Amino acid sequence: LAQRRLLIKGGKVVNDDCSVVADVYVEDGVVQQVGPNLNPEPPTGLVVLDATNKLVIPGGIDTHTHMQFPFMGSRSKDDFYTGTKAAIAGGTTMIIDFAIPQKGCSLIEAFDTWKSWADPKVCCDYSLHVKEEMKTLVQNKGVNSFKMFMAYKDVYMVNDEELYAAFSCCKELGTVAQVHAENGELIAQGAKKMLAMGITGPEGHELCRPEEVEAEATQRAITIANAVNCPLYIVHVMSKSAAKVISDARREGK
């Protein structure tokens, strides 16, 4: 196969540390050079794009997606085709989806199921977040993060003891722990109140989730992770108070 060669000329290249007007030379999908006035040889077969007055940004990585996710009797709208097609249209070139086992299903089975859904459909790169099974996924499947839910009582919610055990395992395996941080007990009580008041619409979702339930769970997750020195990622932070908890912890080196 002929090499695929691309030269992006004169755009404003945005990196994590600076932005600079430069050319970008790509060969077989890999950036080879970034600099001014690049003239890669030979010119034959080189595709040149003029990016003057445009931003040249690395493809985004969405670390939290739920494609065709079966959840409490429903399924998320996007499958791996429509979701990743939309991702590419918006400049995201990789997603990390969650392989979440149903009750009685092993982590390995969940991983294989999600992979069988994704492989025939994905339009971009993808990866999956998924005690021996964790080790197998890390060593044999390349998984490097695991997610725990502190919400959804009687469905996915784990208690503090289970969080401690999971974080300890993540630390041992060198993986990142991810947490959906909300106080599931308080949300469950709030949901009962909403139903008793006849509130069954989407507004009930917000009303039974005051931001304190996220801030409290976020602080608790950070405390447990810090106790075992485990890297922690709090997913989809929604409130200012939870964001402040995270910011304060980072300033303290946690």
Residue 91's CB is within 10 A of a number of other CB atoms, namely: 11
Confidence of residue 53 (pLDDT cuts 50, 70, 90): very high
Question: Range with the lowest mean pLDDT among 128-142, 163-177, 197-211, 215-229?
Answer: 128-142
When the pLDDT of each residue in the chain is averaged and rounded to a whole number, the result is: 91
Confidence of residue 131 (pLDDT cuts 50, 70, 90): low
- List, in sequence order, every residue forming a beta bridge with 30; answer none if it has no partner: 27
Confidence of residue 72 (pLDDT cuts 50, 70, 90): confident
Sign for the CA dihedral angle at 147, 148, 150, 154 comes to positive
Verify cis geometry, omega within 30 degrees of 0, for the bond prior to 42.
Answer: yes
pLDDT > 70: percent of the chain: 98
Say what the pTM is: 0.60
Residue spans per domain, the chain: 5-56, 59-141, 144-254
CATH architecture assignment, domain 5-56? Roll (2.30)
| pLDDT tens-digit series, residues 96-114 | 998 888 777 887 888 889 9
Distance of alpha carbon 71 from alpha carbon 66, whole angstroms: 10
Mean pLDDT of 41-55: 91
Q: What is the pLDDT of residue 2?
A: 45
